[in-house]
């Protein structure tokens, strides 16, 4: 069947035609017919309203009443046959509708729903509206169609019909139906004309009510058919309301139309938005295989990716690109040139891989940037921008993390309620997302375990001395582990400095990458050790997990901080070296000048190749390099362990299983699990390193972005192909704020050293955007002095006076204290209210139970009566409707013919079933 798209929107000023807007698509013949009928109805109504309005404007003369009666009779005879069929249908539908509502309300009663009342109210309102309309229809019949006006209208309508045909000749089927509906149109004149303003108001209110119902329709637990019926019903009604309004009718209709369009637009936007979320399908696939906890890791990863995207945007757009485009080109200054002695190997891959050579002397690192105040034709303040971006990235990260935490806390709501442990376990422990039989098996086992373990845990008190001893031992071992790993890192870093002093060229690959490798290896193997140790402690699984996470966290943190301490040592060394270079530099310069001065006294610019100029060690670049290397090696180890630990193991298990002594799949070394918490921690620490190093190596966010992107795909793939679901399935939501808190701690701890270096160590004298300044933050002062008017600087200096700052800090502390105490009281009040509510609810439910019992009794009686009289009513209904030759067309847009009546076909049976009980 061809699709007919019909958009009829006539808005000729003269005709004052109601602008009707709809889009129809016909699918199959049945539906098409149906729709045509309803379309007719709609159009008729539109015309009817329009006509009736005009009629209302005319004065109604009394003499017409005689003719009216005659005409009416004639017309009735003609149209009853046509109308009758349709009308009966509609009647049936409406009855069914009411019935369905009754049913649903009854069902609600049965389950003692509190919303019964509101629902009933709604139903009543609906009925009211219907009754009212019926009344209108009757009224209208009584004083029926005025003769003259009707004829006039007839012509009018015909005229319009022609116009319409002219306008859209492609809708042939439409015009056909138009022609045969014309006669009906005459009948349809003036449904609404007879309405008084109050009635109109009421009708409008009802329409608004319906609209509200429609907007909340999504949230109603009704079957689709009923919802559809209500929705379609409403469309019709809206037009009635629109037509009946009189003066502002057109505006109103326009508004309604715009509302609809706006809704559609919003919906499309929503669709578009969901389509734009990256990796949505991937994550959903994983979700359906492994449940929500594994998917939560990937959602976290995606969130991280978003943050890094913004960090990258900041550093790339405001630091790297301006410097590359507008700054002095490569080779123009000593700091932008590879030194002569390194030039030979500067392009070697090994050197570049270590971020030495050309990579070191590029926009990727701090040292490349010039201290020129404004660069390019834009007068871009490079040093200021560099500083502000460094501060901005940290500030933005703080903001995002804290905002997310607050939102999570909000969502969790008063998490202090732990009074429903068992109920939650039974009602909410099943993860409906799980579509993988294996996961389901694990989940089964875990559900039982968790429920019982909880129960046993409270009773267990066997041999407390042994457990105590074991726990002390375990803690001792843990401390040893942590201290040992810390010392190892410190030792390695110190050794690497020794290597560096003696020149790296004499050593092999291992010596060069020792620090990173040791850190990565520790990060890989220590968690396994912790796992073994934690079995000693014999804690409850959940506590054990948290304990283990805490251990890993401590390990990572310790490692990171020893690394930083070692770096600090290195910085001190470099600075000592720098002092020497500075001295040498002056001597060298003096020599140079002496040499040139002797040649010719006119001070020609000294032309020394920039590569030959001696330079300081530039500790900032060194720090940046270290961090970049750390990130690279960390990424590599993650991927390699992924490949070896998961893929290799999976392949081995898969293929060796046939020729092995025991069952590899279920015995030792089965497939690996996806370790959610470990992976999340790894991600968090990785991010911490980014935050720490981003100031000295602007390329870090970009690298991290790359890493996250790759690991998204790699891990998705690895999870799907070689992991089995976890045996212990943990809830995703419960731990999200835990991870966020970890992230916040890491963020804080990683900004500390960065801030320390920025504030207390003077920048190198010959590299970086702050060279030549005493401290890095002097940029701010400089900008204030030169770029802002004098009074601003004065105000600022006053504001930064300790006399003002200290009271301000005090005020802040006081404010925090105040807010905290108020929030505490709010919490308490909340709890009290909750208690009150609960007691009240108890009383009410008791009352309700009694009431409900009574109602049930009544309902049963009523039901019996109805079933007795149902046959009777069925017989009597059609004649009633045929005598009711209302001019109202069917209300629905044609759901009637589909055979199914609205409502829950199961409900009546269910109800009777329950009544019998």
Partner 1 sequence: MGGTSSKLPKDLLSEYQELTFLTKQEILMAHKIFSELQDRENGPYSSRVSMEKIHTLPELKSNPFRKRICHVFSTSDMKDGSLSFEDFLDLLSAFSDSATLEIKSHYAFRIFDFDDDGTLDARDLEKLVNSLTGETDDTRLTGEEMRQLISNILEESDIDKDGTVNLSEFQHVISRSPDFVSSFKIVL
Interactions with partner 1, residue window 223-242 (CB under 8 A): 223-225, 227-228, 231-232
| Cβ pair 254, 17 in contact under 8 A | no
Query: Which residue number, 317 or 435, has a Cβ lying nearer to partner 1?
Result: 435
Shortest distance (Å) from residue 45 CB to partner 1: 18
The upper half-sphere exposure of residue 33, i.e. CA atoms within 13 Å in the direction of its Cβ, equals 6
Query: What part of residues 716-745 is at the interface with partner 1 (CB under 8 A)?
Result: 731-734
Shortest distance (Å) from residue 841 CB to partner 1: 6
Query: What part of residues 431-460 is at the interface with partner 1 (CB under 8 A)?
Result: 431-437, 439-441, 444-445, 447-448, 451-452, 455
Closest CA to 86 of 38, 133, 43: 38
Query: Which residue number, 630 or 732, has a Cβ lying nearer to partner 1?
Result: 732
Query: How far apart, in whole angstroms, are the C-alpha atoms of residue 31 and residue 34?
Result: 5
Q: Is 873 in the site for partner 1 (CB under 8 A)?
A: no
Residues 6+ apart with CB under 8 A from 359: 352, 365
Shortest distance (Å) from residue 822 CB to partner 1: 24
Query: How far apart, in whole angstroms, are the C-alpha atoms of residue 523 and residue 353?
Result: 22
Candidates 96, 154, 213, 217: give the one binding partner 1 (CB under 8 A). 217
Segment contacting partner 1 by CB under 8 A, of 166-174, 361-369, 459-467, 907-915: 907-915
Tokens of 767: 């590299």
Query: Which residue number, 180 or 270, has a Cβ lying nearer to partner 1?
Result: 270
Candidates 97, 122, 240, 287: give the one binding partner 1 (CB under 8 A). 287
Candidates 173, 372, 513, 914: give the one binding partner 1 (CB under 8 A). 914
Q: Is 2 in the site for partner 1 (CB under 8 A)?
A: no
Name 375's bridge partners: 380
Query: What part of residues 236-275 is at the interface with partner 1 (CB under 8 A)?
Result: 263-264, 267-268, 270-271, 274-275
Shortest distance (Å) from residue 268 CB to partner 1: 8
Query: How far apart, in whole angstroms, are the C-alpha atoms of residue 196 and residue 193?
Result: 8
Burial 53-77 (b: 16+ CB within 10 A, else e): bbbbeeeeeeebeeebeebbeebee
Shortest distance (Å) from residue 12 CB to partner 1: 26
Closest CA to 3 of 178, 166, 162, 170: 170
Residues 6+ apart with CB under 8 A from 361: 330, 335, 336, 337, 338, 367, 368
Q: Is 205 in the site for partner 1 (CB under 8 A)?
A: no
Shortest distance (Å) from residue 877 CB to partner 1: 21
Query: How far apart, in whole angstroms, are the C-alpha atoms of residue 4 and residue 25?
Result: 5
Query: What part of residues 399-428 is at the interface with partner 1 (CB under 8 A)?
Result: 412-415, 417, 419-424, 426-428
Q: Is 849 in the site for partner 1 (CB under 8 A)?
A: yes
Q: Is 912 in the site for partner 1 (CB under 8 A)?
A: no
Shortest distance (Å) from residue 98 CB to partner 1: 18
Query: Which residue number, 821 or 906, has a Cβ lying nearer to partner 1?
Result: 906
Backbone angles phi, psi at 724, to 5 degrees: -105, 155
Query: Which residue number, 72 or 109, has a Cβ lying nearer to partner 1?
Result: 109
Long-range contacts of 30-33 (CB under 8 A, 24+ apart): 30/897, 31/894, 32/1, 32/173, 33/897
Segments in 600-648 forming alpha helices (H): 619-641
Backbone angles phi, psi at 381, to 5 degrees: -80, 90
Query: Which residue number, 372 or 408, has a Cβ lying nearer to partner 1?
Result: 408
Query: Which residue number, 149 or 442, has a Cβ lying nearer to partner 1?
Result: 442
Shortest distance (Å) from residue 661 CB to partner 1: 25
Name 25's bridge partners: none
Q: Is 111 in the site for partner 1 (CB under 8 A)?
A: yes
Query: Which residue number, 221 or 329, has a Cβ lying nearer to partner 1?
Result: 221
Question: Which helix (H) or strand (E) segment is 673 a member of?
Answer: strand 672-673
Shortest distance (Å) from residue 718 CB to partner 1: 21
Burial of 516 (0-12, 13-18, 19+ CB in 10 A): buried
Question: Site for partner 1 (CB under 8 A): how many residues?
Answer: 92
Tokens of 852: 């409900």
Segment contacting partner 1 by CB under 8 A, of 19-27, 338-346, 347-355, 624-632: 19-27
Q: Is 101 in the site for partner 1 (CB under 8 A)?
A: no
Query: Which residue number, 820 or 838, has a Cβ lying nearer to partner 1?
Result: 838
Q: Is 841 in the site for partner 1 (CB under 8 A)?
A: yes
Shortest distance (Å) from residue 445 CB to partner 1: 6
| Cβ pair 112, 849 in contact under 8 A | yes
| Cβ pair 365, 333 in contact under 8 A | no
Query: Which residue number, 259 or 644, has a Cβ lying nearer to partner 1?
Result: 259
Query: Which residue number, 605 or 899, has a Cβ lying nearer to partner 1?
Result: 899
Shortest distance (Å) from residue 122 CB to partner 1: 16
Candidates 7, 15, 25, 873: give the one binding partner 1 (CB under 8 A). 25
Shortest distance (Å) from residue 411 CB to partner 1: 8
Shortest distance (Å) from residue 245 CB to partner 1: 24
Helices 382-412 + 778-787 axis angle, to 10: 110
CA distances, 406 to each of 306, 399, 411, 883, 901 (Å): 18, 11, 9, 65, 48
Candidates 261, 284, 340, 468: give the one binding partner 1 (CB under 8 A). 284
> For 190, left (φ over 0), alpha (ψ -120 to 50), or beta?
left
Query: Which residue number, 77 or 284, has a Cβ lying nearer to partner 1?
Result: 284
Query: How far apart, in whole angstroms, are the C-alpha atoms of residue 892 and residue 238?
Result: 12
Segment contacting partner 1 by CB under 8 A, of 50-58, 215-223, 246-254, 620-628: 215-223
Query: Which residue number, 284 or 794, has a Cβ lying nearer to partner 1?
Result: 284
Rg for the chain, CA atoms, rounded: 40
Residues 6+ apart with CB under 8 A from 82: 183, 184
Candidates 17, 26, 103, 153: give the one binding partner 1 (CB under 8 A). 26
Query: Which residue number, 182 or 285, has a Cβ lying nearer to partner 1?
Result: 285
| Cβ pair 764, 618 in contact under 8 A | yes
The upper half-sphere exposure of residue 808, i.e. CA atoms within 13 Å in the direction of its Cβ, equals 7
Shortest distance (Å) from residue 28 CB to partner 1: 6
Query: How far apart, in whole angstroms, are the C-alpha atoms of residue 581 and residue 578?
Result: 5
Query: Which residue number, 797 or 898, has a Cβ lying nearer to partner 1?
Result: 898
Query: Which residue number, 114 or 142, has a Cβ lying nearer to partner 1?
Result: 114
Contact string (CB under 8 A) for partner 1, positions 794-833, x = contact: ----------------------------------------
Query: What part of residues 27-46 is at the interface with partner 1 (CB under 8 A)?
Result: 27-28, 31
Query: What part of residues 611-630 is at the interface with partner 1 (CB under 8 A)?
Result: none
Query: Which residue number, 67 or 910, has a Cβ lying nearer to partner 1?
Result: 910
| Cβ pair 872, 129 in contact under 8 A | no
- Structure-derived torsion over alpha carbons of residues 342, 345, 347, 353, reported in degrees to the nearest 10: -100
Query: What part of residues 112-151 is at the interface with partner 1 (CB under 8 A)?
Result: 112-114
Query: How far apart, in whole angstroms, are the C-alpha atoms of residue 319 and residue 768?
Result: 12
Query: What part of residues 657-676 is at the interface with partner 1 (CB under 8 A)?
Result: none
Shortest distance (Å) from residue 177 CB to partner 1: 18
Candidates 110, 485, 559, 679: give the one binding partner 1 (CB under 8 A). 110
């Amino acid at each position: 069947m061809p699709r007919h798209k019909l958009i009829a929107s006539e808005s000729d000023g003269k005709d004052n035609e109601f602008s009707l807007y709809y889009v129809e698509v016909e699918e199959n013949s049945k539906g098409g017919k149906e729709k045509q009928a309803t379309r007719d109805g709609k159009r008729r109504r539109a015309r009817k309203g329009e006509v009736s309005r005009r009629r209302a404007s005319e004065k109604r003369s009394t003499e017409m009443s005689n003719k009216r009666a005659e005409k009416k009779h004639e017309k009735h005879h003609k149209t009853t046959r046509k109308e009758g069929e349709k009308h009966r249908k509609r009647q049936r539908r409406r009855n069914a509708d009411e019935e369905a509502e009754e049913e649903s309300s009854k069902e609600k009663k049965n389950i003692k729903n509190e919303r019964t009342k509101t629902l009933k109210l709604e139903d009543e309102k609906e009925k009211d509206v219907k009754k009212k309309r019926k009344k209108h229809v009757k009224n209208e019949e009584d004083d029926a169609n005025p003769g003259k006006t009707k004829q006039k209208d007839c012509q009018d309508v015909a005229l319009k019909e022609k116009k319409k045909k002219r306008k859209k000749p492609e809708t042939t089927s439409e015009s056909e139906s138009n022609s045969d509906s014309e006669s009906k149109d005459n009948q349809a004149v003036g449904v609404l004309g007879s309405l008084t303003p109050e009635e109109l108001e009421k009708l409008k209110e009802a329409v608004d009510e319906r609209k509200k119902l429609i907007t909340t329709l999504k949230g109603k637990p009704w079957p689709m058919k009923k919802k559809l019926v209500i929705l379609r019903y409403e469309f019709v009604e809206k037009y009635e309301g629109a037509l009946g309004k009189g003066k502002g009718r057109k505006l109103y209709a326009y508004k309604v139309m715009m509302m609809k369009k706006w809704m559609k637009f919003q919906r499309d936007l929503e669709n578009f938005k969901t389509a734009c979320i990256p990796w949505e399908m991937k994550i959903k696939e994983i979700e359906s295989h492994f449940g929500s906890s594994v998917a939560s890791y990937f959602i976290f990863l995606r969130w991280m990716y978003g943050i890094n995207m913004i960090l990258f945007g900041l550093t790339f757009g405001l630091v790297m690109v301006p410097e590359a485009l507008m700054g002095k080109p490569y080779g123009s200054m000593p700091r932008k040139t590879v030194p002569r002695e390194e030039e030979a190997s500067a392009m070697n891959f090994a050197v570049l891989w270590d971020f030495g050579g050309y990579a070191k002397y590029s926009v990727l690192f701090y040292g490349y940037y010039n201290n020129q105040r404004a660069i390019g034709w834009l007068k871009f303040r490079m040093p200021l921008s560099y500083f502000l971006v460094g501060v901005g990235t940290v500030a933005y990260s703080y903001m995002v993390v804290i905002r997310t935490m607050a939102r999570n806390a909000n969502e969790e709501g008063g998490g202090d309620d732990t009074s429903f442990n068992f109920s939650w376990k039974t009602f909410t422990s099943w993860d409906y997302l799980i579509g993988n039989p294996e996961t389901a098996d694990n989940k089964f086992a875990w559900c039982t375990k968790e429920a019982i373990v909880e129960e046993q845990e409270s009773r267990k008190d066997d041999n407390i001395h042994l457990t105590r001893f074991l726990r002390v031992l375990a803690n001792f071992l843990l401390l040893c582990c942590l201290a040992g790993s810390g010392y190892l890192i410190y030792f390695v870093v110190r050794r690497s400095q020794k290597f560096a002093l003696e020149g790296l060229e004499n050593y092999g690959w291992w010596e060069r990458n020792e620090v990173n490798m040791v850190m990565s290896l520790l990060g890989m193997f220590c968690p396994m050790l912790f796992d073994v140790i934690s079995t000693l402690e014999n804690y409850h699984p959940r506590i054990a997990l948290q304990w283990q996470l805490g251990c890993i966290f401590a390990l990572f943190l310790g490692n990171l901080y020893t690394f930083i301490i070692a770096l600090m040592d290195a910085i001190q060394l470099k600075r000592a070296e720098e002092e020497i270079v500075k001295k040498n530099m002056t001597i060298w310069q003096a020599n140079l000048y002496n040499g040139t001065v002797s040649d010719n006294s006119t001070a020609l610019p000294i032309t020394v190749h920039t590569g030959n100029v001696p330079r300081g060690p530039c500790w900032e670049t060194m720090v940046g390099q270290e961090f970049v290397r750390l990130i690279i090696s960390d990424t590599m180890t993650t991927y390699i362990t992924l490949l070896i630990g998961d893929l290799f193991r999976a392949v081995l298990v898969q293929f060796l299983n046939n020729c092995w002594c025991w069952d590899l799949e279920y015995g030792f070394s089965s497939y690996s699990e996806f370790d959610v918490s470990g992976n999340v921690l790894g991600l968090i620490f990785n991010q911490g390193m980014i935050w720490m190093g981003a100031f000295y190596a602007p390329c870090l966010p970009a690298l991290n972005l790359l890493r996250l992107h790759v690991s998204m795909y790699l891990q998705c793939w690895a999870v799907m192909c070689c992991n089995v679901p976890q045996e212990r399935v943990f809830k995703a939501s419960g731990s999200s704020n835990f991870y966020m808190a970890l992230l916040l701690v890491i963020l804080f701890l990683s900004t500390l050293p960065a801030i320390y270096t920025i504030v207390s160590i003077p920048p190198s004298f010959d590299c970086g955007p702050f060279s030549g300044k005493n401290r890095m933050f002097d940029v701010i002062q400089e900008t204030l002095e030169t770029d802002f008017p004098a009074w601003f600087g004065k105000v600022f200096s006053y504001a930064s006076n300790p006399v003002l700052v200290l009271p301000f800090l005090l005020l802040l502390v006081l404010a925090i204290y105040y807010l905290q105490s108020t929030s505490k009281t709010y919490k308490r009040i909340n709890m009290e209210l909750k208690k009150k509510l609960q007691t009240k609810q108890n009383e009410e439910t008791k009352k309700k139970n009694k009431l409900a019992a009574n109602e049930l009794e009544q309902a049963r009686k009523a039901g019996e009566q109805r079933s007795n009289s149902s046959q009777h009513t069925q017989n009597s209904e059609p004649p009633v409707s045929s005598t009711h030759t209302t001019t109202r067309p069917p209300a629905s847009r044609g759901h009637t013919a589909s055979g199914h009546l609205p409502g829950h076909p199961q409900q009546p049976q269910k109800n009777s079933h329950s009544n019998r009980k």
